[in-house]
Structure 1
Amino acid sequence: MSLLDKVREAGVIGAGGAGFPTYVKLSSKAEYILLNAAECEPLLRVDQQLMLMFPNEIIRGFKEAGNLVGAKKGIIGIKGKHKEVIAKLNERIEALCLSDFIEVKELLDIYPAGDEQVLVYELTGRVVPEAGIPINVGCVVVNVETALNIYYASIDKPVTEKYITIAGDVPERLTVKVPIGTPIIDVLKLSGIDNFDDYSVIDGGPMMGAVLNNIDGYITKKNKGFVILKKNHPLIRRKSTNIEQAKRVNKASCEQCRMCTDMCPRYLLGHNVQPHKMMRALNYSLTDIEDVKIAQLCCQCNLCELFSCPAGLYPKSANLYFKDKLLQENIKYKPVNNEFSPRKSREYRLTPSKRLIARLGLHSFDKMAPVKEVDLMPELVHIATRQHVGAAAIPIVSIGEHVSIGQKIGNIPDGSLGASIHASISGTVEEVGKDFIVIRRD
């Protein structure tokens, strides 16, 4: 079996964000393979620690990914502040005789350094076109845990576990490895909090993560961290605002100062995304659909909403309002240009992470979350059939069947984009549904 087939069979997806199936990315041909080790979301610590724990495996997985896409060069993008990790990576690259192929490049401590298009520019000097993806400029990007999973796939080990950072206003901040399908509440309780009545939980980083409506869900391959804050924390209040509330606030206060646009990372790369115009269209009920198509260029980094706007308004929500409206009408933005260059003001408008963390009210929580081995053995795991971009996996097991850890329990539908799923514990299948396969531990 080829490595690409092994990656497909192992169910490897992007281990953060949308969860795009990795075998599809690695089916492309590219000049550069890039490792996204920026981890720019405040408080999250997974990637930094994985690179210290598994440098050889991550480097090998990254090199294998580069071989698959035919890359001439592999570049690891990591913030320069992570001196220990950088030293370890350089040492292991040299020891593995990969210095001719892999290079470590230091990134500024800015947000969003980990945005794929920002990363591509910082590492290669190329600008991904509007509405484009990195392959359009000869690049394929994988993140740290994905590279680790590519290595594991090469030795026939499927994705059954996930590394999660638990951070925020908690007694204990830590990073743990848990079986996929573990109840989220079990993971959250590792923070030292048992009663969450006074707390809210952000699924992911504080910038792009969403506040969970309930904490009764289950760990998937895409989860990367949970930020736990008191319900009255300003960030929770901001992120809990719905679109109708945001529209009312925007209409009452927007003075068209342009700061949301002038600080936008994609605008600074030369794209035509302009959230201040979306605010104008929303506030004055402008109906020309051509003027709002640019809303589709928003990457939802949330910088405009949580940092840039001096009045504390909701420009990203205005973008999302029009993105949803355009989606409903099946209207797509079509770029006019093919080549783009950063705006001259870009270097003066980058957002330092420390300033961002202070603005979010998270400075006192910006602390280490060390890896801790925990004996977390859930009696039941609920393994979602759709943890990725694309079609849900088709179950291939039946109720009452015994499965072993690592056994495939769901296949990619024929002719569809998707990812296979595997048992994360050994036990008996208790339920097979459209959304979950439930396994009871032996």
Structure 2
Amino acid sequence: MGLPRFPGGLSLPGWKPAAAGIARLPLPPVLRVPLLQHAGLPCEPCVAVGERVARFQPLGRVPAGALGAAVHSPAGGRVRAIEPGPTALPGRPEALHVLVEVETGDTDEAWRLPPLDPLGTPAEAVLERLAEAGVAGLGGAGFPAADKLAAARRLLILNGAECEPVVASDAALVQHHAGDLVQAAHLLARCCGAGDWVLALEAGMEAAIAAARQALAAAGEEAARRLVVLPDRYPAGAERSLILAVAGLELPEGELPRQHGVLVQNVATAVAALRAVRDGEPLVSRLVTAGGPGLRGAGVWEVAIGTPAHWLAKAAGGWALEALVLRAGGPMMGTVLPDAEVAIGKTTIALTAWPAPPASPPRPCIRCGDCAGVCPARLLPQQLHARLQARDRSGALALGLMACVECAACDVVCPSAIPLSAGFRAAREAEREHRFRQRQAEAAKQRFEARTARLEREAEAQARADAEDRTKRLSSAAARALAKARARRGDAGKDGGGDGRGGAA
């Protein structure tokens, strides 16, 4: 039986660093820890400038009732500043950062959380721990793990597919921590009620596949049931492509995996969740691949959150080019960084450096159709581009704009060098903003209508109360008047009777 497939996609060169193990990157003199490393609202700082902090101590907490993930200090030191700066999080260009002057390194762990039993701790307590430990998705948009696991699912897919060139962080994690990953799979499946789980890897990840098979066998699991090997084809790791390849489920446009009982979780996120529960470790570091032609070397490092990009680049041998493009991630979907001071965040799976592209304008579309052939979402990028150029928003939406996974496969094959994915990304962001404002307006309208209805109910209730009060007052006044009249008649009768008796005497 052949490998599971999905529509479209590309075969890309690997350019993966040699599997030489995982190096631990020394801490930089100053950590720039972003307070926004996740989907949702930024954390609010809970430390002050000049304050001493310890490793694992919270630096930022999620606003009450908001979606987000707590942020912790990767090392002991002193808070130098709390200031805004650019982030590596896709679509979120700037956020507040807590700058920590590193003093005590990793030795002070007074803020480590109490360990919990991964097998026996109730699911609700596990979710509370994941929120407390700041565990968020270590790939994609960084959705908070506790919120993602809260909904009941039937199938858990652990995503270890790294189909972009250079990126090898998840492959290294599976190769060296496969036993932890199997434990994490059982923990997460229990939390979300999934009756089944699978691990998805790519065919080219031979060392990781071998390690996964060995760990599954040691845990008494059947590799044929738990391990799915995907073709080395980009974008195998995209959520919708992965679900189609693994579960045979093609999600309709606008519907989410949770609506079909499926949860996709990155393998590094799963291991971070296990360590937060079993070892009491808040999320303060992650595996990061450094590489690309703009760097002299390549490899996979365990990097403290908040480490500036240039510190990791130095460990990789330094810059090999003067004019380059620095990305948080791979060359296809990675976020372009404005400079090398940007810090490694929870979602930074790689730091890659590439030659700056030549400044040449794109040529007119020749309608070759190559872009449609590689689109994993089965869209028509050429027609989408034409609609957007004509400012036809409704036409672009009708052609499935919001189903685009922003994989940029269409950019690679376009002979006219049109930046198709950039246009689609901007249009999708604008549409999401439009829908957000619509929801805000609708919510404001509902609040206004609810307030108006409440005020009308209160006014009617007050009117009824006033009427009842008036009736009571009138009844009381009438009763008092009647009583007085009766009293006067009684007094008059007594007076009249006394005079008669006196006259007779």
* TM-score bracket, shorter-length normalisation: 0.5 to 0.7
Q: Deviation at 1:230?
A: 3.1
- 1:161 aligns with 285
Q: Deviation at 1:84?
A: 2.6
Stretches of structure 1 lacking an aligned partner (at least 5 in a row): 268-272, 334-442
> Secondary structure of 1:75's partner?
strand
- 1:26 aligns with 149
**Shift in alpha-carbon separation, 1:325–1:48, aligned structure 2, 3 A:** closer
Query: How far apart, in 2, do the equivalents of 1:29 and 1:321 lie?
Result: 33
**CA deviation map 1:232-280 (0-9, x unaligned):** xxxx458xx9xxx6xxx3xx5113333222321011xxxxx33222222
Aligned-residue RMSD, C-alpha: 2.5
Q: Decide whether the 8 Å contact of 2:309 with 2:351 is kept in 1.
A: no
- 1:71 aligns with 194
User: Aligned runs of 1:158-307 on 2, under 5 Å?
Assistant: 158-169=282-293, 170-193=295-318, 197-231=322-356, 236-237=357-358, 249=362, 252-267=363-378, 273-283=379-389, 285=390, 287=392, 289-293=394-398, 294-306=400-412
Residue 309 of structure 1 pairs with residue 414 of structure 2: yes
* Structure exhibiting the larger radius of gyration computed from Cα positions: 2
Q: Deviation at 1:50?
A: 0.8
- 1:59 aligns with 182
Q: Deviation at 1:56?
A: 1.0
**Shift in alpha-carbon separation, 1:220–1:324, aligned structure 2, 3 A:** closer
Query: How far apart, in 2, do the equivalents of 1:104 and 1:332 lie?
Result: 43
> What letter is aligned with 1:318?
G
Query: How far apart, in 2, do the equivalents of 1:180 and 1:288 lie?
Result: 39
Q: Deviation at 1:198?
A: 3.4
> Secondary structure of 1:111's partner?
coil
> What letter is aligned with 1:264?
C
> What letter is aligned with 1:36?
N
Q: Deviation at 1:329?
A: 3.7
Query: How far apart, in 1, do the equivalents of 2:208 and 2:370 lie?
Result: 35
Q: Decide whether the 8 Å contact of 2:216 with 2:223 is kept in 1.
A: no
Find 2:424's aligned residue among 312, 319, 334.
Answer: 319
Deviates more, 1:10-19 or 1:129-138: 129-138
Deviates more, 1:121-130 or 1:310-319: 310-319
- 1:356 aligns with none
- 2:219 aligns with 96
**Shift in alpha-carbon separation, 1:310–1:180, aligned structure 2, 3 A:** same
Q: Deviation at 1:132?
A: 2.2
> Secondary structure of 2:276's partner?
helix
Q: Deviation at 1:292?
A: 3.6
Sequence identity, in percent?
25
Find 2:165's aligned residue among 34, 39, 42.
Answer: 42
Q: Deviation at 1:117?
A: 0.8
Query: How far apart, in 2, do the equivalents of 1:331 and 1:25 lie?
Result: 20
Q: Decide whether the 8 Å contact of 2:253 with 2:402 is kept in 1.
A: no
Query: How far apart, in 1, do the equivalents of 2:420 and 2:321 lie?
Result: 31
Query: How far apart, in 2, do the equivalents of 1:45 and 1:70 lie?
Result: 30
> What letter is aligned with 1:276?
Q
Query: How far apart, in 2, do the equivalents of 1:274 and 1:331 lie?
Result: 26
Deviates more, 1:317-326 or 1:133-142: 317-326
Residue 148 of structure 1 pairs with residue 253 of structure 2: no
Structure 2 length-normalised TM: 0.58
